[in-house]
Structure 1
Amino acid sequence: MTTFFFHVALTQMLMCALLLSATCHRSTPIKLFILLMFCGSGYLLSTVYASVENNTLLWWLGHMGGNALPGVFWLVSISVFGEQKFIKPWQYVVASLTLAVPLTAKLFELLFAVSLSQYEAIHGLIKYGALLLELVLIGHALFISAVQWRNDLVQDRRYIRGGVITAAGFYIIMVIILEQLLQIEWQGLAYFKGLLLAMLTTAVNYVLFQLKSASLFDIPEKPVSIQRKVSVESKEIQKILQSMEQDKLYRQDGLTIAGLSKHLSIHEYKLRNLINGELCYRNFNDFLNYYRIAEVSEQLTQNDFKTTPVLTLALESGFRSLSSFNKAFKVKHGITPTEYRKKHVFNDEPT
Structure 2
Amino acid sequence: MRRSQLADFAAIDSQRRTDEPSAPMAGEILLIDTLLRGMVIGAQMLVTLGFLARRPVTWRRGLGAAFIVSSMCYVINTSNPLAEALGSIIVPVRVLSIIAPVIFWWFALSLFDDGFRMRWPVLIPLLFVAQLVIAHFMNVRGWYWEFALILARIIMIGAFGHAMYIALKFMNDDLVEGRRRFRVLFAAAVAITGFAINYQETVGYRDQPPDWLLLFQASAILLMTLGFGIWLLGMRAAVLDGEAPGAAAPPPPAAATPSLKPADRPAYQKLMALMVEGVWREEGLSVAALAEKVGLPEHQLRALINGQLGHRNFTAFLNAWRLPAAKALLADPAEARKQVLQIALDVGFGSIAPFNRAFKEATGETPTEFRRRVLGQG
What range describes the TM-score normalised by the shorter chain of this pair?
0.7 to 0.9
Deviation at residue 63 of structure 1 after TM alignment: 2.0
Q: 1:296 aligns with which of 313, 320, 326?
A: 326
Matched, 1:252 2:276: no
Q: 1:206 aligns with which of 210, 216, 230?
A: 230
Matched, 1:82 2:113: yes
Residue 181 of structure 1 aligns with an amino acid whose one-letter code is T
Matched, 1:140 2:162: yes
Cα deviation digits, residues 79-111 of structure 1 (max 9, x gap)? 1211414221231x22423642211112222xx
Deviating more after overlay: 98-107 vs 75-84: 98-107
Contact 2:331 2:375 in 1 (8 A): yes
Compared with structure 1, are the counterparts of its residues 260 and 42 closer, same or farther at alpha carbon in structure 2 (3 Å cutoff)?
A: same
State the distance in 2 between where 1:14 and 1:231 align: 46
Residue 64 of structure 1 aligns with an amino acid whose one-letter code is V
State the distance in 2 between where 1:45 and 1:21 align: 22
Compared with structure 1, are the counterparts of its residues 97 and 181 closer, same or farther at alpha carbon in structure 2 (3 Å cutoff)?
A: farther
Q: Which residue of 2 aligns with 1:264?
A: 294
Cα deviation digits, residues 309-332 of structure 1 (max 9, x gap)? 101111222212211111100111
Contact 1:44 1:62 in 2 (8 A): no
Q: Which residue of 2 aligns with 1:11?
A: 42
Compared with structure 1, are the counterparts of its residues 100 and 172 closer, same or farther at alpha carbon in structure 2 (3 Å cutoff)?
A: farther
CA RMSD of aligned residues (A): 2.6
Cα deviation digits, residues 58-80 of structure 1 (max 9, x gap)? 53244223212110111011112
Deviation at residue 179 of structure 1 after TM alignment: 2.2
Q: 2:176 aligns with which of 135, 151, 154?
A: 154
Question: What's the TM-score once normalised by structure 1's chain length?
Answer: 0.87
In structure 1, runs of 5+ residues without a counterpart are 110-114
Compared with structure 1, are the counterparts of its residues 291 and 229 closer, same or farther at alpha carbon in structure 2 (3 Å cutoff)?
A: closer
Q: Which residue of 1 aligns with 2:195?
A: 174
Contact 1:67 1:98 in 2 (8 A): no
Matched, 1:37 2:68: yes
Residue 201 of structure 2 aligns with an amino acid whose one-letter code is Q
Q: Which residue of 1 aligns with 2:375?
A: 345
Aligned residues: 337
In structure 2, runs of 5+ residues without a counterpart are 1-31, 258-264
Give the alignment of 1:172-321 within 5 angstroms: 172-183=193-204, 185-219=209-243, 221=245, 224=248, 227-228=251-252, 231-233=255-257, 234-246=265-277, 248-321=278-351
State the distance in 2 between where 1:208 and 1:14 align: 13
Cα deviation digits, residues 3-48 of structure 1 (max 9, x gap)? 3332222111111112322336331111000001100111111345
Contact 1:156 1:212 in 2 (8 A): yes
Contact 1:231 1:237 in 2 (8 A): no
State the distance in 2 between where 1:58 and 1:273 align: 48
Greater RCO (Cα-Cα under 8 Å, separation 6 or more) = 2
Q: Which residue of 2 aligns with 1:50?
A: 81
